[in-house]
Structure 1
């Protein structure tokens, strides 16, 4: 049998903007409210905005206007306390204007709503596999979501929906959301595939195949967590003991790793509670962070804390001790509902841990004496998010793999030079810029990293060029993976390392050797062009690494820029390949070509030999048109496989045209322009 259930809806009139409005979206929404009130249309109003900032902006814009009638302005979003959220659903003597995020799109029905004003925007959570963190950026909603929002106006009576974008723009929006597998973290799924013996997840027959980069990112994270062995030659890597233990804990691998380390260090309860905080809503109310009374009340939570998790643990203990009393929690900026949810998750995690042999006690209070052990657990789960403060004047931090971000201003560990952060998110900032925020931070020590990852912490002598004194400085640099953690000045630079530092500085054009002149540039361009034009000849290209090696050899043992500037680099470039190959280069890609009754003419080789599709760029000859009349055939290179493109010039060296076939050009195009050339340059022998 087929069962159907038809929901009752009322007709909703859709109204689009007439043109693309450049005003702030908050002002556009306020304009739409004014229009509804002027028309005296009955019913409450629901405005969809992407986030709390836009909600506050819309309410502020409406508060500053003289509206046709008094209204009740009500915000609605997930960070509000339950009592404040209930205002949107209660009765009101005045017309309600509810300004909400997409929390009101599907999950709730607000009685009395007859008008929807849709900004067409939402904050969308995605996982950026290339950078390894989540993003929360403002994006345009799809057509299905727009229809869902419009339907809010027709739940209890006929209504209308004002869309703050044009109808043509609406047709260009996607019909549905991107499949979740394309915007979510695949780490847990990839771990399951490895447990099933599928060691190359990229080859798995996915229903909706994710991007290979997302799978690669997941596997890299599993290796960072110690769940996968190092990659083998065939690209695979089996599960380790830690990986097997993670499988027994059905949770995100980061949390599983934290729990496993907690079992080793006797702080399972504390690790489970931190995992619960990360799994749910923030237990501290964001809107209370600017309230001085609340901040003063929270000071005992912050006092002496070496981790933002410690602040949350103390706040949660406070709420739990008062049985999550709403008034007590609100006075301290604590979300009582989020604390209850955290306790439920905490108990579930402890139950799982106990079932798999870990020592737990859900009635025991988190032990402050285990703060250091807890931070070891956090490092083990978020080693790829260890970061270093760039300087003491800002909150900018550097992370592994060339990433960077800004520590949130409410963190209690702003003064720590070395941190590990559990949350990295990218949000939209002013001017539609993306800002990377680092939160849930813990202060850590270098020795702790060394204890957990002895094989991944290295100290090596390195040389760097200092552009101020224009000399090479030697350092002992300590790195965790590719993240520099610290450096000490060394006495004497290594001769080869100093040469490499000077070579890098030369390529950055911090100084220029006199011998690195046009002839060397031409040599490089000729060789690279031949490598692209005739790959079958297997010439070694002079790409950036090869140039760097040549310069490093020329500068070996030097430490000053003035020494390197005076060095003769030409011999080392000649040693790049055997002399016989240089002779072949002169034959296949000569610097000049012979010209009838004149001196040989110099060829112009492109600096970029080919485009991204592998198409070889032509070699050019800049030549005056009247000098070509004695030329019988168009010149070629590489045994006739590549033509020389002429850039034909007038007697004043101004471009006339390009030519790839001189005899044809002379026969077809030259007669067309001869009269004009004869008039402008009568003294030239135009044939």
Structure 2
């Protein structure tokens, strides 16, 4: 008999439990909207188990909340955890045959659904804190709705939210909303912005001035208010820095975050012997009540996932909190009594905050989600009941990654290898690294390095993965203890995930097991639990970072999947002890992130296989090859910053990223000439080259064309005649238009195949282009087809005949054609010459060939300007003719003989 203590039955949510039970009895699904502190997490599951029987599964988004909820419910029953109430989180399980209420993380729930979609023995599933919109919770909800519709229509579903924004959940579950009244005490708001402007957050960077202000605000709150202080900060690094600033405050300072030891997390949920300051991340926003808290100090920042799909870089970034999150945080101060919240930003900025936080599915790396969906029988996720559809680009990138891992086939269906990866309880990349490194490194060492990568390393561990591994082995810090526990879990999961003919439920704490029939298996396009049979059906027979079954590589083991004939079972494998620790660290990192394998390009800079440059600090940056395990790319930066990396050699690089290893003939224009070579590449990284003696003629032509378009027509030989032809053609195009071609630099580059066709076909290098007569080639652009080209010399002549019979070249370089001729040769010419109807600009030269006058109207010049020129030059050049009336004089090229 489940009978909570009287204080539990007095919780506010108890008033709406009859309506909630009636809704679940009638519809089988409902949404509970209950403010924090009302008992929705602790009392409701107990009453559901008492009313309906069958095990009640309560899914929490965080391990801390799952353990705390189980302990609180056990206390309400006067029991210890593991009896009527138990919990299962990653690496820890406390349940018994008597357990009626089991609290699990949403990740564990997903693992259990993949192994046993029917959830045998479970009568009700409660999805707690659904308003937080974690991706695992959204995915689990979709799977559970599938289970109800196909396998278990009697399974009851309850979505519990700490907010009243439940309309979307009600539509999704097709169930009623039951609202509980809260007993939140009034919370006074104190606006406490920094005294001086601080830099906005950038990536993982937070202005130290803001942290100093937050610490000062905590001290202020301790002096002005009673009770414990709960201070929200974005991450563990900021928590540690602020904790260091609070020495001598007189209060006990607790650091509460996902990486904190379980003992510290549990201590935060118990009343202390003296006044406390709890420095917490968002994990404390809406979990169980923290006793004694009367004050909240909110820095206004949070961490959200971001994914750069083009570069394959995922990371956390610091963002401003939403108004909804700010209200959730403030509410922590009013759970037990009136309280106060200090908000470290100006009141005027509050209204500009986003109303709600973005759902994780819209921001995060979707690789794990895509694998879950594929294993469920929904490769494109189109049939899943999700509040928000996954972004198409992000889902496509995730499926591409999974194909590279050999986790899905060409149609996106899960392979046997993919199901094994999914059951290891890791991101698929890390699962691949663990699975494929174990045969060479040994299960224990592969698990240890994978455990390092499964959680953010403390900054004190440095950027060298191998050195961090040694520090974790010998360190006695809380991280080291968690790491050792996770490494043991992964080693056990690796061994127990070996394919077996007979399956059965296994311990979710090890997140391992075999598949059973799924709801998706009965859908069109679904896949059977047995997968694709003995052979791995990876596209093209290879995986990114692997080779087809039976293939070989340096080192002797196929880096890819568990294809036909692959006898790997997750054990030590042949030669598991051959590799040094440094080599093991590099191998695991390379297998997990093959596109981040990088080769040195210069001091402190490496080029990654994916094509992105990475800045690498410290001694590791001097290595020729590295595998970047953790990287980020700040806003506005083209390159990435490697935060954790391991040294590898070229053989390991080839082994891990074999799927993007290629060899090709390359003929291109580079560094001012044609380069023809055979190139071996690992993605964007060049491994080696050899000259290509007989390049393909079409490739040569394309390379020469690329050179002309890149460097311009200056590569050709331009004689004076060729330059003049181009100027005349430009004039014809400008004045006559129509079929007369544009010969500007841009146009000639674009139409190079048309006018340089034969030359492009025979040129092999820059020197060949330098011998090309540009003028002869330009002639091909004239409008020969219409016949107009035959009139080109008439319409736009190269020279004009003057009265003396001389043929004088016309200069077409300016806007108006220019005729430069000695003045005496134009005597008797009354009208100004013209070209294509445009009067030429006549430059009248002195006998020495220097400009004496410029005119576009000869008749006017003879009347008005000639006298002044005659007066100035007649004495200087007495032997030349200077008639009174030049308009009627006889033109001459000669001088008068001497007397």
Q: TM-score, normalised by structure 2?
A: 0.47
Q: Which whole-Å CA distance do the structure 2 matches of 1:257 and 1:476 have between them?
A: 32
Residues 1:213 and 2:424 aligned together = no
Deviations 1:252-290 (A, max 9, x none): 4334433553576584454444444433454xx434659
Q: How does 1:176-575 map to 2 (within 5 A)?
A: 176-191=356-371, 193-194=373-374, 207-228=387-408, 236=411, 242-243=417-418, 246=421, 252-262=427-437, 267-280=442-455, 282=457, 285-287=458-460, 308=465, 318=473, 329-330=476-477, 335-353=480-498, 355=500, 359=569, 367=577, 369=579, 379-391=590-602, 393-394=603-604, 396-407=605-616, 409=618, 413-426=620-633, 436-446=641-651, 449=654, 453=658, 456-463=661-668, 465-466=670-671, 471=673, 476-481=678-683, 483-488=684-689, 490=691, 504=706, 512-513=714-715, 557=763, 559-560=765-766
State which of 184, 207, 210 in structure 2 corresponds to 1:25. 210
Residue 174 of structure 1 aligns to a residue in which SS?
coil
Offset, 1:312: 5.9
Offset, 1:390: 1.9
Q: How does 1:11-90 map to 2 (within 5 A)?
A: 11-16=186-191, 22-23=197-198, 24-29=209-214, 32-33=217-218, 36=221, 40-55=224-239, 58=242, 71-72=250-251, 74=253, 76-78=255-257, 79=259
Deviations 1:409-433 (A, max 9, x none): 4xx85443223334444468xx999
Count of aligned residue pairs for this structure pair = 517
Offset, 1:336: 1.2
Residue 389 of structure 2 aligns to a residue in which SS?
coil
Deviations 1:1-23 (A, max 9, x none): 33574565321112346899623
- 1:9 matched to which residue of 2? 184
Change (3 A) 1:351 1:28: same
Q: Which whole-Å CA distance do the structure 2 matches of 1:206 and 1:85 have between them?
A: 32
Residue 324 of structure 2 aligns to a residue in which SS?
helix
- 1:619 matched to which residue of 2? none
Q: Does structure 2 conserve the Cα–Cα contact (< 8 Å) formed by 1:71 and 1:97?
A: no
- 2:58 matched to which residue of 1? none
Residues 1:152 and 2:337 aligned together = no
Q: Which whole-Å CA distance do the structure 1 matches of 2:344 and 2:611 have between them?
A: 39
Give the unaligned 5+ runs of structure 1.
Answer: 64-68, 231-235, 291-306, 320-327, 531-540, 584-601, 604-687
Change (3 A) 1:143 1:123: same
Q: Which whole-Å CA distance do the structure 2 matches of 1:197 and 1:577 have between them?
A: 64
Q: Which whole-Å CA distance do the structure 2 matches of 1:110 and 1:403 have between them?
A: 45
Q: Which whole-Å CA distance do the structure 2 matches of 1:477 and 1:240 have between them?
A: 33
Q: Does structure 2 conserve the Cα–Cα contact (< 8 Å) formed by 1:46 and 1:99?
A: yes
Offset, 1:361: 6.0
- 2:150 matched to which residue of 1? none
Q: Which whole-Å CA distance do the structure 2 matches of 1:245 and 1:289 have between them?
A: 32
Residues 1:126 and 2:126 aligned together = no
- 2:282 matched to which residue of 1? 102
Q: Which whole-Å CA distance do the structure 2 matches of 1:552 and 1:421 have between them?
A: 47
State which of 130, 137, 142 in structure 1 corresponds to 2:317. 137
Q: Which whole-Å CA distance do the structure 1 matches of 2:429 and 2:641 have between them?
A: 21
Offset, 1:442: 4.8
Offset, 1:108: 6.5
Q: Which whole-Å CA distance do the structure 1 matches of 2:453 and 2:782 have between them?
A: 57
Residue 307 of structure 2 aligns to a residue in which SS?
strand
Change (3 A) 1:127 1:155: same
Deviations 1:544-579 (A, max 9, x none): 99879988986663644x875785678879989998
Q: Does structure 2 conserve the Cα–Cα contact (< 8 Å) formed by 1:114 and 1:157?
A: yes
Q: Which whole-Å CA distance do the structure 2 matches of 1:557 and 1:281 have between them?
A: 56
Q: Does structure 2 conserve the Cα–Cα contact (< 8 Å) formed by 1:267 and 1:373?
A: no
Offset, 1:121: 0.9
Change (3 A) 1:269 1:35: closer
Offset, 1:581: 11
Change (3 A) 1:98 1:227: closer
Change (3 A) 1:62 1:37: same
Q: Does structure 2 conserve the Cα–Cα contact (< 8 Å) formed by 1:473 and 1:493?
A: no
Deviations 1:480-532 (A, max 9, x none): 23x12334464879587677566556655699558799989999x99xxx9xx
Change (3 A) 1:195 1:344: closer
Q: Does structure 1 conserve the Cα–Cα contact (< 8 Å) formed by 2:367 and 2:399?
A: yes
Deviations 1:155-209 (A, max 9, x none): 3432211223344432332232222222233334434555677665679886522
Deviations 1:133-158 (A, max 9, x none): 31211111112211121122223432
Offset, 1:346: 3.1
Q: Which whole-Å CA distance do the structure 1 matches of 2:787 and 2:632 have between them?
A: 53
Q: Does structure 2 conserve the Cα–Cα contact (< 8 Å) formed by 1:130 and 1:213?
A: no
Q: Which whole-Å CA distance do the structure 2 matches of 1:544 and 1:41 have between them?
A: 75
Residue 497 of structure 2 aligns to a residue in which SS?
helix
Q: Does structure 2 conserve the Cα–Cα contact (< 8 Å) formed by 1:462 and 1:477?
A: no
Offset, 1:367: 3.7
Offset, 1:441: 3.0
Q: TM-score, normalised by structure 1?
A: 0.59
Deviations 1:375-411 (A, max 9, x none): 66664543333222222x21x32223432333464xx
Q: Which whole-Å CA distance do the structure 2 matches of 1:270 and 1:521 have between them?
A: 75
Deviations 1:581-631 (A, max 9, x none): 999xxxxxxxxxxxxxxxxxx99xxxxxxxxxxxxxxxxxxxxxxxxxxxx
Is the radius of gyration larger for structure 1 or structure 2?
A: 2
Q: Which whole-Å CA distance do the structure 2 matches of 1:577 and 1:352 have between them?
A: 75
Q: Does structure 2 conserve the Cα–Cα contact (< 8 Å) formed by 1:123 and 1:136?
A: yes
